[in-house]
Amino acid sequence: MRWPPMNFGAVHRSLLRASFRDLCATREWKLFALAVEDDHVHVLLAASEAPVEIRCALKCRATTDLKRADLVPRDRPVWADYGNIWRIQNEAHFIAAYDYVLRHRE
């Protein structure tokens, strides 16, 4: 069965923000900015793990939390199989990324 794209309502977005913040605290990742939108998420953080591993961990935790809260059917995929990953190269790039995420924050 093919599902339509995921659309996060207010309750979903609230849970996702808490889920991402909790995982960052648990893993001791420095979370700089977070924006959960209707159909995607922006996260700016610092961590020693590989970016693909970080994205996977964030998606896995959020999916588990959404399904445990019965906000998403158990058999429904939540995320696309991909997602953009940007490595911050310098202070100007960090500031631009930070401003971008904050502009998308609720």
With bands split at pLDDT 50, 70 and 90, how would you rate the model's confidence at 3? confident
The 10s digit of each residue's pLDDT in 54-71 is 999 999 999 999 999 999
For residue 69, what are its two tokens? 């809260």
Residue 106 or 6, more confident = 6
The type of residue at 44 is L
| Mean pLDDT calculated for residue range 69-81 | 92
H helices of the chain, where?
10-27, 51-68, 91-103
* Residue 79 to residue 54: CA distance in whole angstroms: 14
- In this predicted structure, the answer to whether residue 20 has a pLDDT above a threshold of 90 is yes
Which stretch of DSSP H or E encloses residue 30? strand 30-36
Residues 6+ apart with CB under 8 A from 38: 7, 8, 13
What pLDDT does residue 1 have? 54
